[in-house]
Amino acid sequence: MNIQELINNNKTTIVDVRTEAEFADGNVNGSINIPLNEIVDRIEELKGMQPLVLCCLSGGRSGQATAFLQAQGCKDVHNGGGWEMVKAQKA
């Protein structure tokens, strides 16, 4: 499954790892906000939400979160890049 199919799969959770203020300024419809600094504390919650597509402003923070979650055993976690790119791919 490619990233666009994942984004549009109703089983996928889109997680925006930007700050709450950034998220409030614009986000992907249906996404949830878990700021990067909360990922470590919420790992068990995230493990139960897979598959995951993570996004942020440009893909840097979501890339960090994706790598961390994969290192913790999450197998179905993907970096979607910037939230506007994810939003553009959502049907």
Tokens found for residue 80: 């979607």
Among candidate residues 34, 54, 55, 56, the one labeled active-site is 56
HSE of 3, CA atoms in CB hemisphere, 13 A? 16
* Three-state secondary-structure class, residue 80: strand
Active-site annotation holds for 56:
yes
Phi, psi of 38 (to 5 degrees): -105, -5
What whole-number distance in Å separates Cα of residue 41 and Cα of residue 59? 21
Catalytically active residues are 56
